């Protein structure tokens, strides 16, 4: 998201880059550890502009068969313009199953052919487009990951990127789909190095590596899951260099790549700049980890101007701070912040810089618990998950 797209925070996400997406490795069901400086045209910094904001409605939900033990339950990842939500749940045995939740609340579950049925194995639906097609990945009984495309009628196509490794924790990690059903993601090779890919609607695959991407285990090019691919075919990614520092990447539709670093980003291992989403206008949202291992939010406009921000109440210790997770077409950003007690809370930052914070009823207040928004659609609806006092996850949708 964050536990990122599900790492509790981006430091944790970076440390497990080889098998990350949005935010807790146990919650995502990943088996193995996962793992270019540019310029910007300007810097703006807005802090401490909180707002109670208009009243909103929060609905919580659980996938059918979701387990009720610690590390089990339901995660919601993305919400499309019509309000359909993609996600997954972990059952009582720890196996993972994909879900699609309609705007009316009906939930469809599915498993990709070949998905494993053991603990931390199974299917994750990470992104759903406006037409109802979804993509994600599954790991098989050997712990190898594979991508899938599920069309609105329920037909599932699985695929592997040439060069993807076939060992545990290796393989194909699909996680972004745009309106024409192009899919972007990453693959991890036999040396545990990550590379980006774009799968066109006709199934043509283009592979790419960001400038200055490292070539050692846990390094390379990481296209995280969610909305890192926009309708024009532009991709945002993270380049992890030979020193294990992260840098932002913008890949244009013609393949040209630009790297950038948020002002204040640290230059040590597990620090740096981590984009998490790009909208229709080419605006990128993400977070950067400073020299003290604290996370801060950033927004990079299409002209390269970078705005940084911190949510009021965010902690200032290692592993704490502000972690954006999604940006919608109007430019609103949602995500979570980690307070001084290591609990998570949701926020939404409007395009004018106004920040509204919120907690889903039932969220725990202990370390690693709380509210973790992951995506907001053009209408301002937000989805994500919350972790209760028993460390069980539940999905939610927040409507304006």
315-374 pLDDT, tens digit per residue, is: 999 999 999 999 999 999 999 999 999 999 999 999 999 999 999 999 999 999 999 999
- Confidence label for 255 from pLDDT (cuts 50, 70 and 90): very high
3-state secondary structure the chain: CCECEECECHHHHHHCHHHCCECCHHHHCCCCCCCCCCCCCCEEEEECCEECCCCCEEEEECCCCCCCCCCCEEEEEEECCCCCEEEEEECCCCCEEEEEECCCCCEEEECCCCCCCCCCCEEEEEEECCCCCEEEEEECCCCCEEEEEECCCCCEEEECCCCCCCCCCCEEEEEEECCCCCEEEEEECCCCCEEEEEECCCCCEEEECCCCCCCCCCCEEECCCCECECCCCCEEEEEECCCCCEEEEEECCCCCEEEECCCCCCCCCCCEEEEEEECCCCCEEEEEECCCCCEEEEEECCCCCEEEEECCCCCCCCCCEEEEEEECCCCCEEEEEECCCCCEEEEEECCCCCEEEECCCCCCCCCCCEEEEEEECCCCCEEEEEECCCCCEEEEEEEC
Is residue 263's pLDDT more than 50?
yes
Mean pLDDT in residue range 40-45? 29
Looking at residue 22, its pLDDT comes to: 35
Q: Phi/psi of residue 11, each to 5°?
A: -65, -45
* Distances in whole angstroms, Cα of residue 201 to Cα of each of 171, 185, 297: 21, 14, 33
Looking at residue 55, its pLDDT comes to: 72
Residue 312: give the domain boundaries. 10-35+38-399
Looking at residue 54, its pLDDT comes to: 56
Q: How many other CB atoms are there within 10 angstroms of residue 179's CB atom?
A: 14
Residue with tokens 């076939």: 166
- Tens of pLDDT along 379-388? 999 999 999 9
Query: 371 and 344 in contact (C-beta within 8 Å)?
Result: yes
Is residue 220's pLDDT more than 80?
yes
- Separation between Cα atoms, residue 158 and residue 135, nearest integer Å: 10
**1, part of any domain:** no
How does strand 295-300 pair with strand 284-289?
Answer: antiparallel
Looking at residue 21, its pLDDT comes to: 34
**182, part of any domain:** yes
**2, part of any domain:** no
End-to-end CA distance of the chain: 21
For residue 100, the domain's CATH number is 2.130.10.10
Nearest to 285 by CA among 343, 241, 329, 245: 329
**22, part of any domain:** yes
Is residue 204's pLDDT more than 50?
yes
User: Cα 327 from chain centroid?
Assistant: 11
- Tens of pLDDT along 75-113? 999 999 999 999 999 999 999 999 999 999 999 999 999
How does strand 194-199 pair with strand 205-208?
Answer: antiparallel
Looking at residue 30, its pLDDT comes to: 29
- Tens of pLDDT along 106-155? 999 999 999 999 999 999 999 999 999 999 999 999 999 999 999 999 99
Average pLDDT score, the chain: 89
Residue of 226 and 51 predicted with greater confidence: 226
Mean pLDDT in residue range 25-32? 29
Looking at residue 239, its pLDDT comes to: 98
**4, part of any domain:** no
Mean pLDDT in residue range 31-38? 29
**3, part of any domain:** no
**56, part of any domain:** yes
- Separation between Cα atoms, residue 182 and residue 352, nearest integer Å: 31
Q: What's the total number of domains in the chain?
A: 1
């Amino acid at each position: 998201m964050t536990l990122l797209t599900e790492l509790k925070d981006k430091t944790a996400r970076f440390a497990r880059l080889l098998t990350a997406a949005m935010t807790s490795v146990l919650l995502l069901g990943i088996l193995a550890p996962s793992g270019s400086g540019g310029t910007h045209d300007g810097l703006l910094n807005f802090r401490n502009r909180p707002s109670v904001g208009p009243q909103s409605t929060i609905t919580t939900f659980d996938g059918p068969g979701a387990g009720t033990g610690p590390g089990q339950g339901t995660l919601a990842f993305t919400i499309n313009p019509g309000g359909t939500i993609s996600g997954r749940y972990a059952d009582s045995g720890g196996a993972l199953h994909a879900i699609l939740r309609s705007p009316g609340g009906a939930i469809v579950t599915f498993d990709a052919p070949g998905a494993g049925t053991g603990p931390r194995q199974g299917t994750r639906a990470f992104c759903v487009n406006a037409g109802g097609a979804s993509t994600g990945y599954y790991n098989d009984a050997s712990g190898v990951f594979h991508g899938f495309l599920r069309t609105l009628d329920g037909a599932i196509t699985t695929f592997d990127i040439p060069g993807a490794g076939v060992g545990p924790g290796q393989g194909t990690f699909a996680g972004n789909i745009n309106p024409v059903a192009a899919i972007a993601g990453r693959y991890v090779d036999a040396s545990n190095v990550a590379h980006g890919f774009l799968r066109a609607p006709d199934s043509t695959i283009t592979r790419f590596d960001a400038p200055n991407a490292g070539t050692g285990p846990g390094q390379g090019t990481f296209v995280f899951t969610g909305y890192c691919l926009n309708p024009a075919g532009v991709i945002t990614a993270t380049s992890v260099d030979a020193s294990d520092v992260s840098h932002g990447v913008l890949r244009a539709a013609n393949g040209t790549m630009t790297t950038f670093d948020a002002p204040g980003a640290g230059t040590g291992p597990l620090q740096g700049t981590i984009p998490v989403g790009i909208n229709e206008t080419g605006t990128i949202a993400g977070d950067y980890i400073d020299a003290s291992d604290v996370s801060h939010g950033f927004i990079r406009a299409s002209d390269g101007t970078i705005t940084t921000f911190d949510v009021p109440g965010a902690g200032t210790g290692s592993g704490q701070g502000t972690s954006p997770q999604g940006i919608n077409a109007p430019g609103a950003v949602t995500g979570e912040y980690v307070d001084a007690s290591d609990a998570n809370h949701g926020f939404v930052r409007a395009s004018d810089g106004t920040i509204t914070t919120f907690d889903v009823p039932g969220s725990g207040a202990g370390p690693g618990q709380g509210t973790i928004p992951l995506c907001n659609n053009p209408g301002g609806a937000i989805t994500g998950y919350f972790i209760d006092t028993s460390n069980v996850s539940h999905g939610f949708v927040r409507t304006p």
